[in-house]
Amino acid sequence: MRYLTDRKRVDGLGSAKTGTAHFWAMKTSSVALLLLVPLFVFMFGAMLGKPHDQVVAFFSRPVPAIVVALTLIVGFEHFKSGVHVLIEDYVHGMAQKIWIIAMTCLSYAAMAVGLFAIAKIAL
């Protein structure tokens, strides 16, 4: 170990660097979702319970397909960051690391599966 004072060891590691990156990512994704969520809710709501051919025809159209894709990307990214803070607050030690990794994997997996589905429908 190097001979450093505690102060010297933490100098420059605070919010002066990337401390606000998480906050800013939540802020930008939340503003994007402010537009995407209402569009998605009414598009999905309108198609829920409708026959298969009608659902496929609707989500093959450019705007609904793009809205679904963007909502999946931004929504699960937003969820990933949100659940990260939830875990940090209530779970500690090794369990915390495992939970954060597991929920990050789940977020990206759900996002990818959803994107594959909408691509297959639309193209």
Report the site for other proteins in 34-93 (rule: CB under 8 A): 34, 37, 41-42, 44-46, 48-49, 52-53, 55-56, 59, 68, 72, 75-76, 79, 82-83, 86, 93
Residues 80 and 103 sit within 8 Å (Cβ to Cβ):
yes
**Minimum CB distance to other proteins, residue 106 (Å):** 8
**Minimum CB distance to other proteins, residue 110 (Å):** 5
> How far apart (Å, rounded) are the C-alpha atoms in residues 54 and 113?
22
> How far apart (Å, rounded) are the C-alpha atoms in residues 82 and 76?
10
- Residue 99, judged by CB atoms within 10 A of its CB (0-12, 13-18, 19+), counts as middle
Site residues (CB under 8 A) for other proteins?
27, 30-31, 33-34, 37, 41-42, 44-46, 48-49, 52-53, 55-56, 59, 68, 72, 75-76, 79, 82-83, 86, 93, 110, 113-114, 116-118, 120-121
